[in-house]
Structures are given as C-alpha cells and as structure tokens.
Amino acid sequence: MKISKKSQYGLRALVLLARTDKEYLSLRMISEKEKISFDYLEKIFSKLEKEKIVKSKKGVQGGYTLSRNSKKITVGEILRSLEGEITLVECIGSKGKCTNKKTCRTINVWRKLQDSLEKTINSITLEKLAK
C-alpha cells in the first residue's frame, strides 16, 4: 500500500487548519504556506467538503474550516475520504475475491497487519497532529 500525494497534501492542509486561530483560511493561503499547488488543493478540498470533513464560506472573509472539532477527526477518516478503502492486500478488502481463503496460509498475517493499520490510523486525531 502506498499513500498518495493527495492524502499527504490533504492531511498537511488539515493539520494547518487545526492549528489556526482564524476561523476560515483561504485555499490560496493554505497553498502558499504548505507549498501545494492551488489547483490540486481545490480538488482535494472539494472531496473533503463532500465528505463533511471541512466546510466552506464564500466571500472576502471566506475559505475553509474544519466541520467539527479536531479531536473528532481521525487520520483514518481523512485517508478513507481521499483514498477510498484502505487495504494492504486485495483479498481481505471488501471487494476481495480470493478463491483460496479456506486454504490460504498467509491470510491471517494480512488480517493482523490490516487490523494494526486500522487501529493506528483511527487512533490518531488531527488534534494530536496539530500539537
């Protein structure tokens, strides 16, 4: 599994939002501070808004802010909203069609690793990252 630039940039931008004293930050400001392409950031934030992780406000004092408290938003939620399902190997994912499940000697390894990954990303909040 490889985390995409989209998720890396999205997480960095959200940590910035979590650390800010201002209620709303413009994408232009986030783009400049994090050195992320404005156009790419627009696409990321469109997805994050659709998933209700951020909310936007139009106008001079507008921009984006977190939709709820940073201690209630996990890295897992962010990654899933930007990546979709996060699985280490296809056979244990929700769409996995393994014809060898009953006799596979390695599936338990993949399940343990997957459980560990899920537990880790679901235990880290934006609040923790922003400190």
**Residue closest to 54 by CA, chosen among 21, 16, 4:** 16
CATH code of the domain made up of 5-130: 1.10.10.10
Percent of residues, the chain, with pLDDT higher than 70: 99
Query: Could you read off the pLDDT of 34-47 as tens digits, one per residue?
Result: 999 999 999 999 99
Q: Helix (H, G, I), strand (E, B), or coil: what is residue 105?
A: coil
What share of the chain has pLDDT > 90, as a percent? 73
The SS3 of residue 9 is: helix
Determine the average pLDDT of the residues in 71-97.
88
Q: How confident is the model at residue 32 (pLDDT cuts 50, 70, 90)?
A: very high
The model's confidence at residue 91, banded by pLDDT at 50, 70 and 90, is: confident
**pLDDT for 76 beyond 70:** yes
- Ordered by start, the domain boundaries in the chain are 5-130
> In the structure encoding, which two tokens stand for residue 68, read together?
């709820």
Mean pLDDT, range 50-57, rounded to an integer: 96
Q: How many CB atoms lie under 10 A from the CB of residue 74?
A: 17
- The residue among 21 and 115 whose pLDDT is bigger is 115
- What mean pLDDT is predicted for residues 5-22? 94
pLDDT tens sequence across 92-114: 777 767 777 778 888 889 889 99
